[in-house]
Amino acid sequence: MPLVNDGITVSKIDATKSDYLVRAKQLLQRFQSSQKVHKSSLPDFVDWLISLKPEISSSTWRQYKASTIWFLELKKEVELLEILKNISSDGCRDIREVPIQKRNTSSRKKKSVTEREEEMIVKYLSSTASTSFWAKPTLSLFKAILATGLRPEELKNSFLINENESQGNYEFKALPVLKVKNAKHTNGRSHGEFRHLLLNHLDEIDLLYIRIALQYANPHSPQGWSKPSGKKATNWHEYYTHLRGHFYRVTSKIFPTASRRVTFYSCRHQFIANLKKAKYSRDEIAAIVGHATDDTATVHYGRAKFGRTRKGLPGALPDEVNRIRQVYQDPPSLGSSAALNRNKERLRH
């Protein structure tokens, strides 16, 4: 039974779906090559996937599960995907038992960015800006994600609201506001199609980096998606691959002996750690970073002990805080009422 070479393709314009398809087909190929029998089926594949849990970390399991669920949706295998949706990460391997050198690529990525690391990266990228084409966009992306916690791909669908204007039921008085199209909205992992970050308390330097990063991420701007040849990248996936590659080379040169490396996603982890250190509530953090429930950032993202005090952090709209599906229950002092009061205050000033 053909499980892999079935003609299913996805445009690389949708990077997430493209990654899901690549990973699902890789898993299917692994499954089929491991089978001694000639015939195999999707139910057999799902059983095999579940059997991998004791060998893989919970984060790897979530990636495998998400990719396979998306693939099963394409195949209209409703019963199988419902079974898989109900399988938790319980029973996965504790990644702490595996030596760092033997861990997979994702587990060797840092989930924090220290002040020293930030200073060294900024210094290096700034000093090479006149000789390296990719230094400026890489630097702006690095600093913008540290200041906002955006997923890198969300930058291309974000823009600043700088003048008084209505947005839904709100008339923004605390400006600027960053309007972000949530990258995970289509698969139910976000609280809505858009989220709004109140940036009126941010440092002016951070705001400048955000504005520059939005220019580089916008294909319609003069600098957007540009390559050294003078041509523009055909899609975000191509452009981001260049930036990510340059950032990897830079961090490898600055920190050649590091067992874990700083990535753009390390900045998102650090941003969430900063919010935790600043005592933002769980539902408030979820609203700011585009999660659907209040437990995702708590369980899977940066720890409060790695948080750093920054001059100004974004706020969320009270209405978006209210959309968060609560899994954890906050103490009254840090619960949703505290989040609403804090952000109402931001809107007044």
User: Which tens digit of pLDDT belongs to each residue from 29-87?
Assistant: 888 888 765 566 888 888 899 989 888 888 889 989 999 998 999 888 888 888 898 88
Two structure tokens written together for 273:
């750690």
CA distances 66 to 61, 63, 118, 302, Å, are: 8, 5, 32, 21
Two structure tokens written together for 201:
């308390």
Given the candidates 1.10.443, 1.10.8, 4.10.240, 1.10.3470, the CATH classification of the domain at 109-348 is 1.10.443
Two structure tokens written together for 187:
């698969």
Question: Phi and psi at residue 138, in whole multiples of 5°?
Answer: -65, -45
Q: Which of 170, 182, 175 is nearest to 198 (CA)?
A: 175
Q: Which of 237, 261, 6 is nearest to 109 (CA)?
A: 261
Is the N-terminal amide bond of 176 cis, ω within 30° of 0?
A: yes
Distance (Å, whole) CA 245 – CA 276: 30
Average per-residue pLDDT for the chain:
82
User: Which tens digit of pLDDT belongs to each residue from 281-318?
Assistant: 988 999 999 887 766 555 556 678 889 988 789 998 88
User: Which tens digit of pLDDT belongs to each residue from 182-240?
Assistant: 986 655 555 678 999 999 999 999 999 999 999 999 999 999 999 999 999 999 989 99
Confidence of residue 341 (pLDDT cuts 50, 70, 90): low
Dihedral, 300, 301, 305, 310 alpha carbons, nearest 10: -160
The mean pLDDT of 85-106, rounded to a whole number, is 69
Dihedral, 51, 52, 56, 59 alpha carbons, nearest 10: -80
Distance (Å, whole) CA 342 – CA 189: 25
Question: Phi and psi at residue 342, in whole multiples of 5°?
Answer: -60, -45
Domain ranges of the chain: 15-107, 109-348
Distance (Å, whole) CA 276 – CA 98: 28
Helix 115-127 vs helix 236-254: angle between axes, to the nearest 10 degrees? 110
Q: Which of 227, 222, 218, 335 is nearest to 285 (CA)?
A: 335
Q: Which of 240, 212, 211 is nearest to 225 (CA)?
A: 240
pLDDT value for 190:
58
